[in-house]
Amino acid sequence: MVTVLKVLVVVSVLATLGVMFAGMAGLARSEQGGGARSNMLMRWRVGLQFLTVILFLLLLLVMRG
């Protein structure tokens, strides 16, 4: 169980970083109509960060007990 949670935490962290860098790249290019895409990426990033924190807390609880 611990190994599965560790893998899920790493995957969610990498997914969060990927979405964050995609958003930064979009801002750097300053695309036309990029506001909607930037907003969507921001929502995905926040959701993925929430998922990462929940998975990390679960991992800590499992390792503690």
Residue pair 20/45 in contact (Cβ under 8 Å)? The answer is yes
Model pLDDT for residues 3-47, shown as the tens digit of each residue: 999 999 999 999 999 999 998 888 787 766 667 888 899 999 999
Q: Is the confidence at residue 62, as pLDDT, over 70?
A: yes
The pTM score is 0.84
Structure tokens at 44: 């995905």
CA distance 45 to 16: 6
Domain extents for the chain? 2-64
Is 64 exposed, middle or buried (CB count within 10 Å of its CB: 0-12, 13-18, 19+)?
exposed
